[in-house]
Amino acid sequence: MRRSHLKIARLSLGLTALALGERAAIHEEKVFQVERGRYLPTRDEAIRWAAALGMRPTKAFPEFFAAGAGGEK
């Protein structure tokens, strides 16, 4: 699943992948892999990632946090 919305959000904040990674304590390469849909972050990484972008986790990673997915509603 490609996550272009995450890249758009990152770029709209003027963040590089490295800067986002530093904010969210996630390696820069993992940022690229997630945005390309090649890697699924852990639930904790997804929460930190969403916070670093100022997004709700349900918007950033609906596969973890959508109603009925066992996460936040």
Where along the chain do its domains lie?
4-65
Work out the pLDDT band at 65, boundaries 50, 70, 90: confident
For residues 49-58, average pLDDT:
96
Global pTM reads 0.83
For residues 7-14, average pLDDT:
97
Is residue 62 predicted with pLDDT exceeding 60?
yes
What token pair was written down for 8? 């758009």
Residues 1 and 12 sit within 8 Å (Cβ to Cβ) = no
Is residue 60 predicted with pLDDT exceeding 60?
yes
Is CATH 1.10.260.40 the right assignment for the domain spanning 4-65? yes
Is residue 6 predicted with pLDDT exceeding 50?
yes
Residues 32, 69: Cα–Cα separation, whole Å: 25
Give Cα separations from 16 to 40, 43, 58, 66 (angstroms): 20, 22, 23, 27
Nearest Cα neighbor of 39 from 57, 54, 59, 61 is 61
- Per-residue confidence (pLDDT) for residue 73, from 0 to 100: 36
